[in-house]
Amino acid sequence: MIELVNVTLSFGAQKILESASLRIGEGEFVYIIGETGIGKSTFLRLLYMDVFPESGSVRVGGFDSEHLSESQIPYLRRTLGVVFQDYRLLEDRNVYENVAFTLHVTGIKASLIRERVMAGLAEVGLTSKEKAMPGELSGGEKQRVAIARALVNKPALLLADEPTGNLDPQASREVLAIFDRINRKGTGVILATHDYELLKSRPARTIRIHKRTFMEITS
């Protein structure tokens, strides 16, 4: 599913990765950990090819950073779902419209949109909130809307960048339970976090970014 081979990447004078390699199999649940600013978000950006390595290659599914044209990037991203810490909801649209938006963008048939949206909201337990505006939701509910939005294209892989960073402990547990359930249905999950309580609640393969490379953490 994912392979990084001898990847080097810098931002300005800061080197994020240097000759770093990593393999993640299809359907795995993997935590990416490390201190703030170490490159967890950048690693995820490499996977959805928002940034590219200076050297080495990033392979996600059938896409390879060394041979990827700009026109292919949207097709790569349709195989992924991405969830951010800050939700990134459209404040002038209700829950249903926020989740449906990504389907309109990707050109899904109108006859399938409601079915997909309601299935996504059911997955995160928010069917009763379809007409609510983002300002009427708690932080945990906003994140669950964001997860539903990430799921409606039926991605093979879900990327989550500090998804519990703005949530209280109870909402964090609820969100983690959703990721766990999604993974058990076959979708891969890569979750970048500095919240080590999550690792205790749902143990899984854990990769630490340290000294510009990847370190496997064993329990």
pLDDT in tens, 9-32: 998 888 999 999 999 999 999 999
Confidence of residue 42 (pLDDT cuts 50, 70, 90): very high
Decide if pLDDT at 86 tops 80.
yes
Q: What is the 3-state secondary structure (H, E, C) of the chain?
A: CEEEEEEEEEECCEEEEEEEEEEECCCCEEEEECCCCCCHHHHHHHHCCCCCCCEEEEEECCEECCCCCHHHHHHHHCCEEEEECCCCCCCCCCHHHHHHHHHHHHCCCHHHHHHHHHHHHHHCCCHHHCCCCHHHCCHHHHHHHHHHHHHCCCCCEEEEECCCCCCCHHHHHHHHHHHHHHHHCCCEEEEECCCHHHHHHCCCEEEEEECCEEEEECC
Decide if pLDDT at 39 tops 80.
yes
* CATH of segment(s) 1-79+155-219: 3.40.50.300
For CATH 3.40.50.300, list the domain ranges present in the chain.
1-79+155-219
Mean pLDDT for the stretch of residues 201-206: 95
pTM of the shown model: 0.95
- Check residue 219 and give its pLDDT: 60
Confidence of residue 176 (pLDDT cuts 50, 70, 90): very high
Average model confidence (pLDDT) for the chain?
95
Confidence of residue 214 (pLDDT cuts 50, 70, 90): very high
Decide if pLDDT at 202 tops 70.
yes
- Check residue 37 and give its pLDDT: 86
Lowest-pLDDT range of 12-16, 148-152, 164-168: 12-16
Residues 59-80: pLDDT tens digits? 999 999 999 999 999 999 999 9
